[in-house]
Structure 1
């Protein structure tokens, strides 16, 4: 085993908006990609590296924790921290601070309890195969539909009315939430425009906005969701997840929803409503969607990735007429449009009632899993945050050091979950673990409960 070169090309810019811990993690990944670090190299301790770079140990600990979570480095008891990933896994032009997925071989050895993974094992295999066979029956398309297949748009319209209480006037097919954000950023907003986002919030949307040349400002989130009074003046758009805030798990209150749409109308802002798992509510009926309250200023985004599977690559957008038209013009100019294959499969699942049956089964299963996890943790004295909804919950920590330590300890025990700190645009103000309970089997979750209690108590 070799030691890492003490002259690694690490340069931290204290004046940059990107947190120092993110800059450090990026630099170490780049060092691995360019061969300055190789598999088996031992890294300095977090304390030694902090002294060398002139930063606090909080910075180096957070960077190491992120690289641990991504599978790039691993700790060996009594020996140190080593590089585990060979060069070649960094995608060219990856946005600064964007998480890099660990190689398949690294992920497979851990029980992944990160949020954002659907319960794909719950899909009825016979219905799934039937839908794909039926989707192949229509003739191959000569030209793709800019707005999406008509049957798909009808199926989504019915889905939104039945499961989200939204009487959608016009639906556009999308490739999913992030793909829709990319289109809105390019088609509706202009370079230099200011977009407000939840803090903490969905960092892929942040990167999509930044890549489009937009300025991004974080808006604090509390137990009632995003604070409309903290949206900076001059914002052209605000991106939020009111039904189940990501990653904190809260629900935007009715008063906040009214305040937000009133602010949007007064200031000419577009509200981008990310309803990524809004169908998954277990305790009470969901509050009205922002798009139902103010269809004139809200672009509503939904996806099949959380309720079914990312395999379909299908989502939807319900937006004001001028916004929808701008997106269609953008697709015409660029030749980009969502793939119709996944749309056809969803149509068939909806046509035979399989989509509705799956959603009912999904709600029952995830409600039981959440109760099992939350009750076990709470009963052991572990605080749990987040509404009774969705597919993840949050366990708060007191500091960045505690978050880094507990996530690293979990990996050593064979479990991976997500830290809150990486979801901040600026300096983190909350720390904790976001624990998903949908992507694994029920048996695996039950088996992991004693380990989770010992890690988090």
Structure 2
């Protein structure tokens, strides 16, 4: 690394004069961000250490450290312990088209598929510290074969955390650590099949992977429609299913919350048929414009199995989740878990326990909530400017939103056209589980956590170009009128980078 960073400083950074006193961190952050946006700091450029830059600019080292941390959280920088801080590849503006479709754009140039958090914001330093501290605290005996239901220290921390933030009041002995929520579904499915269940009701539309998990253990998925109040609980009576999987805090993918009267009706149904509710609380921590919604398990602990994971808060690669089953099935779940994999990684469990105990998990959530809200606002603003005839749905929480398309638009065909232009975004049709029922509307499901605001805006500009082109061609084919007349009626995409005002 060069020993003299004077040229870098003079090119990109303003002098920290008396006029900037009191807001030096903000001034430095903005200067670095702008330098990256316009391309003067290219991807993979290594920045000076916080100590070096602080000395050159006559700033406190903490000011530089805070500026770097903010830009890491926004996805502009990458910080790797032992390797310093560098500009992230994802924000290299030179490879990004301005507004028109690039015919050479590689597939997936803008990946808006839902399901992933901001992976660049993973707290690498905090996680490494937690691994070291957790491993140092582990007694030698805990390095043997693990307890199949999980490390006691982690179960205790999870019980405290879930009680505090999700109103899931459980003893540590009731918590089972899983390899992600997917294993939790599989374990519960195996227990249901072992008790004679042959069907499980699922939301329609919903996640396509869950019915496949249940099919592996012999359970058939029975799709139940979802409306603006969530699952149509009244339609459960028309099935023979005595188990149901729901996403009550933030329905996937429509983003609605299960209405209070539906929650009560669902609990009453479970008690009446002696049934089981699988509560998938997959992204309840990510909320922006509404108060937290308590978990359903607090309403009926004997009939609700609560499932969650760190896949939407930290990273799916950790393969850590939790299951709080009803008391009468816990021993059976523990037995199946033991037979399948002898338990989950003790070292990773110890690290997560440490992260929960020292507040690192909460701090990470606070940072990523701000980051995700900023990205959501940028996406909503871009859609409003460029595609005003699309309806934005499910924005109050989560890591994705749904764009409802005008009548007559085929979401599958539009998704395929966007993919050819480099924008990967699935159609709502892909989430239907009942081929005999039409989708509630045509739409696209857009995940926004993995892209910076600038890249989200670029993706929307490309989508608007593709959509306008298709609309022009369709109208011309219908009335054989001049394309220009139709084009004048179509929205013009603003190039403004202003973010949307706060939403209510």
Please state which band the TM-score falls in when normalised by the shorter chain: 0.7 to 0.9
- The answer (yes or no) to whether the contact 2:378–2:456 under 8 Å persists in 1 is no
Q: Give the aligned partner of residue 384 of structure 1.
A: 392
Q: Give the aligned partner of residue 379 of structure 2.
A: 373
- Is residue 2:221 matched to residue 1:216? yes
- Is residue 2:438 matched to residue 1:429? yes
Q: Give the aligned partner of residue 117 of structure 1.
A: 116
Q: Give the aligned partner of residue 159 of structure 2.
A: 157
- Is residue 2:411 matched to residue 1:403? yes
Offset at 1:132? 2.7
Q: 1:354 to 1:442 in 2, by over 3 A?
A: farther
Determine which of 124, 144, 147 is the counterpart of 1:145.
147
Offset at 1:281? 1.3
Q: Give the aligned partner of residue 195 of structure 1.
A: 200
Q: Give the aligned partner of residue 295 of structure 1.
A: 301
User: 1:127 aligns to what SS in structure 2?
Assistant: helix
Offset at 1:399? 7.4
Q: 1:455 to 1:260 in 2, by over 3 A?
A: farther
Q: Give the aligned partner of residue 130 of structure 2.
A: 131
Determine which of 406, 417, 420 is the counterpart of 1:412.
420
User: 2:391 aligns to what SS in structure 1?
Assistant: coil
Offset at 1:192? 5.5
What is the aligned length? Answer: 353
Tell me the distance in 1 between the aligned counterparts of 2:394 and 2:466: 20
The structure richer in helix per residue is: 2
Q: 1:132 to 1:456 in 2, by over 3 A?
A: farther
- The answer (yes or no) to whether the contact 1:312–1:343 under 8 Å persists in 2 is no
Determine which of 164, 181, 187 is the counterpart of 1:183.
187
Q: In angstroms, what is the RMSD of aligned CA positions?
A: 2.2
Tell me the distance in 1 between the aligned counterparts of 2:358 and 2:152: 17
Q: Give the aligned partner of residue 394 of structure 1.
A: 402
Q: Output one character per residue of 1:212-246: Cα deviation in whole Å (capped at 9) or x when no partner.
A: 11122100001111011011332121001011111
Q: Output one character per residue of 1:287-329: Cα deviation in whole Å (capped at 9) or x when no partner.
A: 2211011111000100100011012100011121112121012
TM-score, structure 1 as length reference: 0.73
Tell me the distance in 2 between the aligned counterparts of 1:294 and 1:454: 50
TM-score, structure 2 as length reference: 0.66
Q: 1:456 to 1:362 in 2, by over 3 A?
A: farther
Tell me the distance in 1 between the aligned counterparts of 2:268 and 2:410: 40
Q: Give the aligned partner of residue 235 of structure 1.
A: 241
Offset at 1:387? 4.2
- The answer (yes or no) to whether the contact 1:244–1:387 under 8 Å persists in 2 is no
Determine which of 162, 166, 169 is the counterpart of 1:167.
169
Q: Where do residues 39-58 of structure 1 align in structure 2 (5 Å cutoff)?
A: none
Q: 1:429 to 1:398 in 2, by over 3 A?
A: farther
Q: Output one character per residue of 1:170-193: Cα deviation in whole Å (capped at 9) or x when no partner.
A: 211111111111111112334652
Tell me the distance in 1 between the aligned counterparts of 2:324 and 2:408: 39
Q: Give the aligned partner of residue 304 of structure 1.
A: 310
- The answer (yes or no) to whether the contact 1:254–1:287 under 8 Å persists in 2 is no
Offset at 1:401? 6.6
Tell me the distance in 2 between the aligned counterparts of 1:295 and 1:309: 28
Q: 1:302 to 1:456 in 2, by over 3 A?
A: farther
Tell me the distance in 2 between the aligned counterparts of 1:400 and 1:175: 43
- The answer (yes or no) to whether the contact 1:188–1:323 under 8 Å persists in 2 is no
Offset at 1:275? 0.4
Q: 1:335 to 1:355 in 2, by over 3 A?
A: closer
* Structure 2 unaligned regions, length at least 5: 1-101, 469-504
- The answer (yes or no) to whether the contact 1:419–1:434 under 8 Å persists in 2 is yes
- The answer (yes or no) to whether the contact 2:379–2:453 under 8 Å persists in 1 is no
Determine which of 440, 447, 455 is the counterpart of 2:458.
447
Tell me the distance in 2 between the aligned counterparts of 1:213 and 1:454: 46
Q: Where do residues 343-354 of structure 1 align in structure 2 (5 Å cutoff)?
A: 343-354=349-360
- The answer (yes or no) to whether the contact 1:313–1:342 under 8 Å persists in 2 is no
Q: 1:266 to 1:406 in 2, by over 3 A?
A: same
